[in-house]
Amino acid sequence: MKKHSLIIVAIVSALVASFVVYSGLQPDSWFQQRTNTTKTSNSAGTTTIAKTAYTSSDTATTAYNKVKNAVVTVQNLQKTSSSSSWSSYFQQNQQDSSSELETASEGSGVVYKISDGYAYIITNNHVVADSDELQLITASGKKIQATIVGTDSSKDLALLKAKTTDIKTSASFGNAKKLQSGQQVLAIGSPLGSDYATSLTSGIVSAPRRTLSAEETGSSATTAIQTDAAINPGNSGGPLINLKGQVVGINSSKIASSTDGTSVEGMGFAIPADIVQTFIKNTEK
């Protein structure tokens, strides 16, 4: 009798288990509904959005944004002569000569003052040397004619001015005498020309004051800030700034190789702001 009871219990248990499994597999079963509800909830989800907008705390970006619209591309325009000749049965020769302006080179400059409808720009002397005319290209792409106020080839500095209302931002100078080795600096300019205008590179002050020989500068001995921020052709005349967005130097040159031909990297130079300010004071009219 016990044996039969156990068999009956086992059969009943099996039937119940089968019913539960079968029911659980049905789409409308309580088990399936519970699972589907959970998945649907996870799929849709709910998100709590903070009502605070993201604000960048990157000091380099802030410094760059403060100065970028004061940086211009300086185009050195020079006259080129073209001639044409022809001959005929009735006239052996005729020469027609004319001159037109072409961009001989491009550099950078920074607006340091806006006054009485004029923007005043500082750049390198070698950027404007031998020019017949000068053209500025602003950060927004506007083209403006500029004239030379004064130059100093020994310091490689030039002061320009342009009558315009398109330039609305000017940069301020910082104290270059307080620079320290290891301090972060940023170089802004147009490396390889206006196609790469307002490009930014970053680095540190490698040496706050370095004396360059006449052989190294190609003109005369000078004092410069040494930096490893990338300075390429076209960067000349652009600003070297600190993280406060103040101009601490005017980018002027780099050493790509030593006198014996050894290649070097990260040796750029900028004219210290105090030397630039003295030049401006003595030159501005």
Q: Which helix (H) or strand (E) holds 283?
A: helix 273-283
Per DSSP, the residues of 6-54 read: HHHHHHHHHHHHHHHHHHHHSTTSHHHHHHHHHHHHHHH---PPPS---
Q: Cα–Cα distance between 199 and 189 in angstroms, integer? A: 5
Active site residue 156: yes
Q: Please answer whether residues 170 and 119 qualify as being in contact, where contact means their C-beta atoms are separated by less than 8 angstroms.
A: yes
> What is the rounded CA–CA span in Å between residue 136 and residue 156?
19
245 dihedral zone (left: phi>0; alpha: psi -120 to 50; beta): left
Chain centroid offset of residue 8 CA? 86
**Amino acid in the structure at residue 246:** Q
Q: Which of 108, 199, 236, 252 is catalytic?
A: 236
Which one from 108, 131, 156, 253 is the annotated catalytic residue?
A: 156
Contact 124, 158 (CB under 8 A): yes
Is 4 an active-site residue? no
Residue 107 CA to residue 70 CA, distance in Å, equals 14
Q: Active-site residue among 126, 131, 190, 194?
A: 126
**Catalytic residue set:** 126, 156, 236
